[in-house]
């Protein structure tokens, strides 16, 4: 039986960061990862002979400088190639946003570009008030401490310093839906579609759902490439960043075990003492950090006798089923997207012609059904990383939101139907792409989980 000061369950980027922090603090730490390779959402894989995918995460739009320093990430991975966003519409030419979330915009009128920058600057300024809470542990509702009150007071002071009008505007907007904000500030359907897409990607809300603007606030609290609201692809792709997280944790002194699924957390009267693997192997530690879903931690790994009924009920009520599918295509040749300049093809292509398009794509998910006309985030990774595909060929990866985890018709039949629907949507923007598909892999939300 091997002993450690702390054991971290889950070798994704969050678990590796926690482990490195504990190790640099002088503790003997081990990470246990169920998969054969650590990295989580940053983990790449092969989906067809000769074709590689970067993993569920396609770009980096938030990488805390403190995390990069903790893991000693190389400069070419802690930052990288700025990625433009191209908003595709089958009605008009694409809109292209460059630098930190549209500091520069091509394809829209000057007046509309000015309106978007006003909205962008307003949201980034307001998101700065929320950013100060991201590194704080949420306080227990029944035991708010002095430091928590001080943090709230600091946020209130920051808000007051912005002036009465801006303070009122922030309080007015905070819990609004992103559709109303888009209509208030913008006239261009493509830009409205973009903020709706970014506000709702990965959450079970549509643009007109109350509080959906919070998703965009969260997106704009992130810092990447030294810019708030920035986004980049590291040298070697997101998978290379995942490998750097692993290397950084190991260099910090962390012991990493892969292919090591945990079966049980050992605990007695509220005090943990270690873990038991599915293989039967036991490791002891007085600290267990679970960098996995709380439902798995408390409803599967911890004995029910160790947890109060009320707490178990609260954990069971967490709504967090995934609602994003991933489509990877192996293509005979790189696709052509008419109207998109060559220098923008290595960027993020968002298929969304209007706010209503995003809302209509969301609506069926409320009833366990697939979108008939999906919105998507598309990237062509092999254009920037030729090693991902054989010479002359290409890869395409697309995230498809608003895809029910528990599909009413079942995934046995729904998988091929969603793949066909997504390919039809791509065909409208990249004519002829269907004839070049050598292989396709669609990962539904349960597959990604």
Cα–Cα distance for residue pair 388/151, rounded to 1 Å: 46
According to the model, what pLDDT value does residue 289 have? 97
Predicted confidence (pLDDT) at residue 349 exceeds the cutoff of 70: yes
Q: Residue 255: what pLDDT?
A: 98
What pLDDT shows up at residue 56? Answer: 85
* pLDDT tens-digit series, residues 86-98: 999 988 899 999 9
Fold of 2-48+56-77+239-316: FAD/NAD(P)-binding domain (3.50.50)
Q: What is the pLDDT of residue 138?
A: 66
CA angle 315/218/135 to nearest 5° reads 70
CATH class of 322-448: alpha beta
Q: State yes or no: pLDDT of 155 exceeds 90.
A: no
* pLDDT at residue 407, rounded to an integer: 95
Rounded to whole angstroms, the Cα distance separating 223 from 131 reads 10
Which of 75-84, 109-118, 129-138 shows the lowest per-residue confidence on average (mean pLDDT)? 129-138
What's the pLDDT score for residue 154? 57
Mean pLDDT throughout 412-429? 96
Give residue 212's pLDDT band: very low, low, confident or very high (50, 70, 90): very high
Contact (CB, 8 A) for 385 and 391:
no
Crossing angle of helices 213-221 and 110-131, in 10° steps, is 80
Residues 214-272: tens digit of each pLDDT: 999 999 988 887 788 888 888 888 999 999 999 999 999 999 999 999 999 999 998 99
Instruction: Read off the pLDDT band of 159 (50, 70, 90).
Output: low
Domain positions in the chain are 2-48+56-77+239-316, 103-230, 322-448
Quote the CA–CA distance of 444 and 410 in Å, as a whole number. Answer: 11
**pLDDT per position as a tens digit, 24-80:** 999 999 999 999 999 998 999 999 999 999 888 888 888 888 999 999 999 888 877
Q: Rounded to whole angstroms, how far apart are CA atoms 373 and 88? A: 14
Q: Inform me whether the pLDDT recorded for 135 exceeds 80.
A: no
**Candidate from 169-173, 175-179, 217-221, 407-411 with smallest mean pLDDT:** 169-173
E strands, 185-231, are: 223-224, 227-228
To the nearest whole number, what is the mean pLDDT of the chain? 91
Strand 262-268 versus strand 271-277 pairing type = antiparallel
Instruction: Give CA–CA dist 305/430, Å, rounded.
Output: 57
Place 129 in a pLDDT band, splitting at 50, 70 and 90. Answer: confident
Alpha helices in 270-332 (DSSP H): 294-296, 309-316
Does the structure show a pLDDT above 90 at 391?
A: yes
**Can you tell me whether residue 116 is helix, strand or coil?**
helix
Average pLDDT over residues 140-155: 56
Predicted pLDDT at 395: 98
pLDDT band at 164 (very low <50, low <70, confident <90, very high): low
Per-residue pLDDT, 17: 97
- Of 101-110, 169-178, 414-423, the range with the lowest mean pLDDT is 169-178
pLDDT in tens, 273-295: 999 999 999 999 999 999 999 99
Print the SS3 string covering 9-65.
Answer: ECCEHHHHHHHHHHHHCCCCEEEECCCCCCEHHHCCEEEECCEEECCCCCCECCCCH
Nearest residue to 42 via CA among 269, 295, 200, 245: 245
Does residue 321 surpass a pLDDT of 80? yes
More confident residue, 320 or 206: 206
């Amino acid at each position: 039986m091997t002993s450690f000061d702390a054991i971290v369950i889950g070798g994704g980027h969050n678990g590796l960061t926690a482990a490195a922090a504990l190790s640099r603090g002088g503790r003997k730490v081990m990470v246990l990862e169920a998969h054969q390779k650590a990295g989580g959402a940053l983990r790449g894989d092969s989906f067809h002979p000769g074709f590689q995918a970067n993993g569920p995460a396609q770009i980096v739009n938030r990488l805390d400088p403190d995390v990069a320093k903790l893991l000693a990430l190389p400069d070419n991975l802690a930052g990288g190639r700025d990625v433009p966003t191209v908003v595709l519409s089958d009605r008009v030419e694409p809109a292209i946003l460059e630098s930190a979330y549209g500091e520069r915009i091509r394809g829209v009128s000057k007046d509309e570009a000015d309106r978007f920058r006003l909205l962008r600057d307003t949201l980034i300024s307001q998101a700065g008030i929320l950013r100060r809470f991201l590194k704080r542990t949420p306080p227990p509702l029944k035991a708010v401490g002095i430091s928590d009150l001080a943090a709230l007071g600091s946020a209130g002071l920051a808000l007051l310093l912005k002036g009465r009008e801006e303070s009122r505007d922030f309080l007015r907007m905070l819990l609004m839906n992103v559709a109303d904000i888009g209509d208030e500030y913008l006239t261009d359907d493509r830009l409205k579609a973009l903020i709706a897409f970014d506000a709702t990607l990965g959450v079970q809300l549509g643009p007109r759902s109350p509080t959906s603007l919070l998703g965009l606030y969260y997106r704009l609290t992130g810092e990447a490439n030294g810019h708030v609201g920035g986004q980049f692809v590291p040298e070697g792709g997101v998978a290379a960043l995942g490998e750097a997280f692993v290397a950084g944790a190991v260099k910090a002194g962390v012991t990493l075990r892969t292919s090591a699924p945990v079966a049980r957390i050992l605990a007695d009267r509220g005090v943990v003492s270690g873990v038991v693997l599915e293989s039967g192997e036991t490791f002891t530690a007085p600290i267990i950090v679970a960098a996995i879903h709380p439902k798995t931690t408390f409803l599967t790994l911890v004995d029910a006798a160790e947890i109060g009924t009320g707490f178990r009920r609260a954990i069971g009520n967490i709504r967090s089923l995934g609602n994003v599918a991933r489509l990877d295509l192996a293509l005979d040749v790189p696709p052509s997207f008419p109207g998109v300049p060559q220098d923008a093809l290595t960027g993020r292509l968002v298929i969304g012609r209007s706010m209503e398009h995003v809302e209509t794509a969301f609506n069926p998910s409320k009833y366990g059904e697939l979108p008939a006309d999906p919105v998507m985030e598309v990237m062509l990774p092999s254009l920037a990383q030729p090693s991902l595909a054989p010479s002359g060929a290409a890869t395409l990866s697309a995230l498809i939101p608003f895809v029910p985890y528990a599909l009413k018709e079942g995934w046995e039949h729904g998988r091929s139907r969603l793949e066909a629907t997504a390919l039809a949507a791509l065909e409208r923007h990249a004519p002829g792409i269907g004839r070049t598909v050598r292989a396709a892999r669609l990962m539904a939300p349960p597959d990604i989980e």
